[in-house]
Amino acid sequence: MGDKKVNCCSVSRNNHSGTDKAVGLKDVVSKSITQKDNMILLPSGEFLMGTDDQIGFPNDGEGPVRHVKIDSFYIDAYAVTNEQFAEFIKETHYVTEAERYRWSFVFYLFVPEEKKKVSKQLPQTPWWYAVEGANWKCPEGEGSTIETRLDHPVIHISWNDAVAYCQWAGKRLPTEAEWEYAARGGLHQKTYPWGNKLTYKGKYQCNIWQGEFPVRNKETDGYVGTAPVNAFAPNGFGLYNVSGNVWEWCSDWFSPTHASKDHYMNPNGPSSGKAKVIKGGSYLCHKSYCNRYRVAARSSNTIDSSTGNMGFRCAADA
């Protein structure tokens, strides 16, 4: 892959004109309530973060490999689900940025033909449509529903939305270093959370694209869109779906370069930036195009962006 910079999975609002300007995060969340259910307490530890592997994307800042020390922290075993997010909305009446903008990005296979006629495509990524009415509770626009996907990860979530949920839940977003430490599951410099081979005994271990992107998805893993948050086996630390399914927001600002240090203690990224780190890849990732479902892979998006394959999981201090 080398320096090839292509990303089928992530698309930003700043590439498209919205019908409304979203407002910033408002003080609409309830008082913090600490919830440690379904969270995993990870011990402090050290690991090698990033990769110098030739299958990676150097321009993304995957390397060089850094020796990182992490203090103990909690992290969700699962990405936040539609059911959990609905509880947050019910209690706080928070309005997501996709709802404020009145549109969000939907992958073309999920856009009804009548909506394609009135939705705009991005020239550089024509498989994304800006669909009016698409948001967390109507993932494909008006008329769609999450009723049969309550245990799927919530999508169409901006970084600001994720932060609002975390504040309500008494949690926070993980740093990129915490996320990667947890996603590796105790393995040393492996490509995936389970090892170096994509499949195990001929079976896929995550929800990604099989076939020819973006034309045909063979659905060999059993899913064409999102999968339940507990699909597939967990990694060595007990985390589910840290590869594929949905991109997950981190707290760090994104930079393709890293400070020159021999050791890093609880790194949290640069002090400012234009976009936030996202990790894990999604159901749209394919090795021929966007091989970013590897644990060391990384990408970014602006804090107000939302798509049909972006969600999050929470962390908390120990």
Q: What is the pLDDT of residue 305?
A: 97
pLDDT value at 9 more than 80: no
pLDDT value at 100 more than 90: yes
The bridge status of strand 73-76 relative to strand 315-317 is: antiparallel
Q: What is the pLDDT of residue 11?
A: 83
Model pLDDT for residues 300-318, shown as the tens digit of each residue: 999 999 999 999 999 999 9
Supply the mean pLDDT for the chain: 91
Model pLDDT for residues 145-177, shown as the tens digit of each residue: 999 999 999 999 999 999 999 999 999 999 999
CA distance 88 to 37: 16
Work out the number of other CB atoms within 10 angstroms of the CB of residue 201.
Answer: 6
CA distance 312 to 165: 10
Model pLDDT for residues 19-62, shown as the tens digit of each residue: 444 444 444 444 344 446 789 999 999 999 999 998 899 999 99
Q: Which residue has the higher pLDDT, 285 or 27?
A: 285
Its pTM stands at 0.92
How much is the average pLDDT of 189-205? 95
Work out the number of other CB atoms within 10 angstroms of the CB of residue 195.
Answer: 12
Q: What is the pLDDT of residue 34?
A: 45
CA distance 263 to 265: 7
Q: What is the pLDDT of residue 289?
A: 79
pLDDT > 90 in the chain, percent: 81
CA distance 155 to 137: 9
Q: What is the pLDDT of residue 229?
A: 98
Model pLDDT for residues 246-265, shown as the tens digit of each residue: 999 999 999 999 988 877 99
